[in-house]
Amino acid sequence: MIARLSTQQADFQEKLSKLLAWESVSNTDVAQTVDDIIANIRQNGDQALIDYTNKFDGMDVSDISALTVDQSALKKAFDSLAEKEKIALQSAADRVHAYHQKQKQDTWTYTDDNGTLLGQKITPLDRVGLYVPGGKAAYPSSVLMNAIPAKVAGVEELIMVVPTPKGVANPLVLAAAHIAGVDKVFTVGGAQAVAALAYGTQTIPKVDKIVGPGNIYVATAKRAVFGQVGIDMIAGPSEILIICDGKTNPDWIAMDLFSQAEHDEDAQSILLCPDASFIDEVKASIAKLLPTMDRKAIIATALKDRGALIQTKDMDEAIAISNQIAPEHLELSVEDPQSMLDDIKHAGAIFMGRNTCEALGDYCAGPNHVLPTSGTARFSSPLGVYDFQKKSSLIMVSDEGANILGEIAATLADGEGLQAHAQSARYRIK
């Protein structure tokens, strides 16, 4: 059902490497298909978008207006929700907004000893495209997590694309777009939607950056258009790594492992624990609880193919292995999680304490749930307000500064053999 490993096995590192191996966008056939779609969108715009939507989403439309959702429809979707859903959605949005407000950066300057002003000008992006998946499941939480930081950053226009197979739109997704302040919504998806955002069509405006998760075609398209536009990341399957001291309810641990495994068959769930008997208890909980799950087939496949219960020598070794894995979601299900923080180097989000299940972070805790996957937490951060702001350097040299900096610059320019650079600097020396 799920692999049982020990760090004391001679071939442990080999088995771990095999378990972690993942390449999200390496399929050459997919890449060729995506390239063809992008070329068609660039050449034929709206019409190509309509054709692909009819083909892939089982639609039958002849005009782009049928794929456009206006603001009144977004508000209507929100108004149609049950009161409990409205409250939950608004509460989540408020918490996400409050958290991301803390991330907002402002322009700063300082003046050095010779009177030269230096600093950075912080500017929001003009227009951002938000991709929201709409195939196997609907993700209103993704709307909030992607749109709200953009709005906090000051992005002027947020364009959302979401596929609606058979023309069925999820009211929670549209309601989330209403709450988050999305400006325009188009019911298109796949690589064709990414291409439309990157290059623009007669109706869909060209954006500066594309954010949001999707399938392999979406991920491949985002990689293909990177450079034409910015992207947030190339996301792989969802991951959870739990470090437990053996004192948490094993049913809780089993369900936390399920919470990521139920996303899709490629999701990854790993437990690190030094207590062999507790691992036995978790394995028993998995066997007991799995038959009760609606998505048990998906969970079972994910656990069998990419899951593991790993016995470590001690908690220090568990932390070392966690840093090696650099997981998307890291749960520290231990007595004193804060004491471990200094030693945790790589994780997208860290959930501290027995009560802090990853699911709370997915929906309403406040921090962003768009996180680096596949070990990229070694060099990447969660999506945040900073992803929707860019920086311009500020330099204003004083008379005194021109004398000092001019001499330094000219000397270094001479050393590089760049005469015009040197002369340009010397002109400013009084």
What amino acid positions are annotated as catalytic residues? 328-329
Amino acid occupying residue 48: A
d(CA 318, CA 333): 12
Q: Cβ(344)–Cβ(330) under 8 Å?
A: yes
Question: What single DSSP character describes residue 165?
Answer: G
Q: Tell me the backbone φ, ψ of residue 91, rounded to 5 degrees.
A: -65, -45
d(CA 412, CA 430): 19
d(CA 328, CA 237): 10
Q: Cβ(327)–Cβ(241) under 8 Å?
A: yes
Question: Strands (DSSP E) along 97-173, which ranges?
Answer: 108-111, 117-124, 127-131, 157-161
Q: Tell me the backbone φ, ψ of residue 240, rounded to 5 degrees.
A: -135, 135
Instruction: List C-alpha distances in Å: 347 to 15, 47, 213, 262, 378.
Output: 21, 43, 19, 21, 7
Distance of CA 140 to the CA centre of its chain: 15
d(CA 228, CA 194): 11
